[in-house]
Structure 1
Amino acid sequence: MTRSSPPTERVVAVLDFLVAHPGRRFGLSELARAVGLAKPTCLGIANELTRGGYLVLDPATKAYRLGPALIAAGRVAQQDFTAAALARRELAELSARYDTVGTASAVVGEQIMVLESSGPARAAATVKVGQTYPFAPPVGLMYVLWDGDRALDEWLARPPTLPSRTDRAHLRQVVTECRDRGYLVESLSPNGMRLHALMAGVAAYDLPAEVRDLVGEMVSSLGERVYLGADLAARRKHPVSLLAAPTFDADGRQELVLTLYVGAAITGAEIARRGDALVAAADAVTSQVSGRRPTGWR
């Protein structure tokens, strides 16, 4: 069970708001109104963040902006996500080639977090760096899929965020095929897309009623949205949401998931081409961090 801290949540809300509006400055009244705080409460938070260098107060306009302390904190944090920084170039090349969004994400603490994103400007709002998702069944299979059976079993044992059922035989087939193929192909469905959008930024066990109602309308077997090899006829078109492939660290553990969004129906042959390109990009990141692919997997 996790505990929340409302005072801390208010501090995070102020920082998140300013991060979401880069280059802009906000007066106290505007800032308080934007984050839903009383003006005296917002002033106390802003004063402390300013003293710590996390905000800067313009003495002339009395407006706040992000401060230099965040730069130092960001640089230190980035050292723990070297692979994500290295993935940026690979993602940019894939995004340009296929005119779509590519991301690098990982499990950070108890949540899945988007660490890098690349793609055309019109799609910039599709997935944002820093966006989080719950990491518990039925969400997060691709983050343990290539990390060995122990990691998979530990994820399956987590309290589910949503009602789901486990068809062990089907899930084992999904795991085996994805490990052999080197990438995952997720099917595209209107309900699946709605569910993904609704769960963005939601804490693992604090899901709104709208999400639970939607799940009631969906078949929620683990791995059901993953295409198996027999489903992907080369000449026939298949509605695809995304492709995903892993990077590995020096111990052969899964580190990141690189994702290439599709959002359309494409042929099985085209899925294979994009999947191979994504695996090559993930392998390039693995090589740059001196990682290694587990023995026996593609």
Structure 2
Amino acid sequence: MSSRPSPQTDRLLDLVDLLAARPVDGATLAEIARALGLSKTTIHPMVVALTRRGWLLRHPERHTYRLGPALVAAGRAAARGHAVIDAARPAVHRLAAMTGLTCLALVTGAFPGERDELLIGEIGAPPQPPANGASGAAGGMGPAYRHLRLGDRFPLQPPIGSVCVAWSDDPTTVEQWLDRLGSDRPSDALAQITPSLAGIRARGWSVEVDRHLRERLDLLAAELGEDQRGAEHAAALRRILSEVHRTFGLADALPASIEPGGTYRATTVSAPVFDARGEVVVVLAAICASDQHHAPVRTGAEVIDLGERVRAAAEALTALTRGRPPALWQG
């Protein structure tokens, strides 16, 4: 049962997001109304109420609003309520500096009436690349995914979330994860993914491989099918695609093993942080692709090196927060 939408709540959240993006200058009532696509009459009562509660501050001369001290207190309370995220912040920034990649701390959790999701708890931006265009320490591409924000959510749909299910001793957990593929779930999905999950447990980290080519081929087939003149070509392309989809499945998106001499278009490398019960509470992830979802070719040795760096950071965070690996841990 999904929750019912709340327009007023959405407006409040949009307002906070807007002012969070302008922490110094803030915005006038007119600018807020224009950015949210609402009238000043609609926005004004909400702004006044938030200002009275200390969530917003109004500049006496410029008549601009910015986030207030009450939100600072709320943020500190949130940090104390999630000690692992508090500890993960410096770890994520160190990992970003070390790898030259955008790195994330993703919080595991669930929303009532919705599927489990991963929430961004911290974002570590890599150092700015040198003026000569040299890449980062691990072949990074400079700042990536600039559109990501704290609190953004990712659905746990394969291959995303493999590190969250790889150590589960409940067989239904993997089945429920695979069911999130819906009609795209292959009949042999469990057989495909079993070696991949075993490989993740053995390494202590997962790597997701770019499937962008498949997506582009699917789009091309659809575009050709809309043009009667391309119907014959579209039919031929669909036959090819059916073979591609059959041979390039979950096992290719989540390789069970990484050959040092091979090449891979890795998009994300992730490792789990465990709590005291041995359950995944945070996922550390290094984003290898760019904003345009372009994943550069890396050698297997480079992918392994990156995976070990992410794993070491996750293991250190598990130890720092007094977590423990689960019984199925093989790393």
State TM-score, norm by structure 1. Answer: 0.82
Task: State how 1:270-289 maps to structure 2 within 5 Å.
Answer: 270-289=302-321
Assess if the C-alpha contact under 8 Å between 2:269 and 2:288 holds in 1.
yes
In the alignment, which of 225, 228, 236 is matched to residue 256 of structure 2? Answer: 228
- Tell me the equivalent position of 2:4: 3
Question: Aligned partners of 1:240, 1:150: CA distance in 2, in Å?
Answer: 28
1:187 and 2:209 correspond: yes
Asked if 1:164 is matched to 2:195, the reply is no
1:118 is aligned, of 118, 124, 139, to 124
Please say if residues 104 and 116 of structure 1, whose CA atoms lie closer than 8 Å, have aligned partners that are also in contact. Answer: yes
Q: Name the counterpart of 1:19.
A: 20
In 1, are the aligned partners of 2:56 and 2:65 still within 8 Å (CA)?
yes
Q: Shift in Å at residue 126 of structure 1? A: 5.6
Q: Secondary structure at the match of 1:64?
A: strand
How far 1:91 moved relative to its partner?
Answer: 2.4
Letter in 2 for 1:283: E
- The one-letter amino acid paired with 1:156 is W
Compared with structure 1, are the counterparts of its residues 23 and 154 closer, same or farther at alpha carbon in structure 2 (3 Å cutoff)? farther
Equivalent residue in structure 1 for 2:270, among 236, 244, 266: 244
Q: CA deviation at 1:286?
A: 0.3
Is residue 189 of structure 2 the alignment partner of residue 173 of structure 1? Answer: no
User: Any conservation in 2 of the 1:243–1:262 contact (CA below 8 Å)?
Assistant: yes
Amino acid across the alignment from 1:277: R
Larger radius of gyration: 2
Aligned residue number for residue 100 of structure 1: 101
Structure 1 residue identity aligned to 2:150: V
* Structure 1 residue matching 2:288: 3-state secondary structure: strand
3-state SS in 2 of match to 1:123: coil
Gaps of 5+ in 2: 112-116, 129-141, 217-240, 290-295
Distance 1:271 1:240 in 2: 7
SS of equivalent residue, structure 1 residue 186: strand
Give the percent of matched residue pairs that are identical in Structure 1 and Structure 2. 31
Q: What is the deviation of 1:163?
A: 4.1
Amino acid paired to 1:175: L
Q: CA RMSD in A?
A: 2.7
Q: How many residues align?
A: 274
| C-alpha distance in structure 2 between counterparts of 1:156 and 1:244, whole Å | 17
Match in the other structure for 2:154: 133
Distance 2:214 2:23 in 1: 31
